[in-house]
Amino acid sequence: MKISDIACLRCGSSYEVAESISVRGTAGQAKCVMCGELIEAWQEPKLKAFRLVMSPEHRYARVPGSSASGIER
């Protein structure tokens, strides 16, 4: 099994993708469950499973102007 990460380009939702290397699947596509955007399409006979890891609503907001070390003097 091959595990990788992918993110939706429209809304930023993060997904974990599991791809079987021993079981053949079919061509297919996956859409974001949050916004409906196509996140991946494949023509090869592969078996893939997508799992939503984090939606944009549950991420911490970016902090503007923070230092790389996190310590400001």
Residue 73: which pLDDT band, with cuts at 50, 70 and 90? Answer: very low
From CA 73, how far away is CA 58, in angstroms rounded? 30
**60 vs 9, more confident:** 9
φ, ψ for residue 56, nearest 5 deg:
-60, -30
Q: Which candidate, 31, 61, 72, 62, places its Cα nearest to that of 48?
A: 31
- Domain spans, the chain: 2-58
- 58 vs 12, higher pLDDT: 12
10-54 pLDDT, tens digit per residue, is: 998 999 999 999 999 999 999 999 999 999 999 999 999 999 998
- Residue 52: what pLDDT? 94
